[in-house]
Amino acid sequence: MDKLIIEGGVRLKGEVTISGAKNAVLPILAATLLTDDACIIKGVPDLRDTNTMLKILKSLGKNVEFDNGVAIISQAKNTSHIADYKLVSTMRASFCVLGPLLGKLKKAKVSLPGGCIIGVRPVDLHIKGLRALNAEINIESGYVVATASKLKGAEVYLGGVYGSSVLATDNVMMAACLAQGKTIIESAACEPEVFDLAEFLIKMGAKIKGHGTPTIEIEGVKQLHGAQHKIIPDRIEAGTFILASLLTGGDITIKNIFPRHLGAMIDKLQEAGVDIKSTDNTMRVALKGKLKPVNISTLPYPGFPTDMQAQIMSLMAITPGISVITEKIYPDRFMHVAELNRMGAHIQREGPYAIVSGVKELSGAPVMASDLRASASLVLAGLVAGGKTSISRIYHLERGYEFMEDKLRVLGAKIWREKE
Catalytic residues: 116
Q: How many CB atoms lie within 10 A of CB 173?
A: 30
Q: Which of 382, 322, 276 is nearest to 5 (CA)?
A: 382
Give the integer Cα–Cα distance in Å for 326 and 38: 44
Report whether 192 contacts 261 (CB < 8 A). yes
Q: How many CA atoms lie within 13 A of 408 on its CB side?
A: 31
The CA-atom distances, in angstroms, between 320 and each of 289, 297, 324, 346, 359 are: 12, 19, 13, 11, 6
Q: Which of 88, 84, 85, 167 is nearest to 122 (CA)?
A: 167
Say which DSSP state 142 is in: T
Report whether 196 contacts 232 (CB < 8 A). yes
Sheet of 70-75, strands arranged across: 62-67, 70-75, 39-42, 228-230
Give the integer Cα–Cα distance in Å for 234 and 121: 22
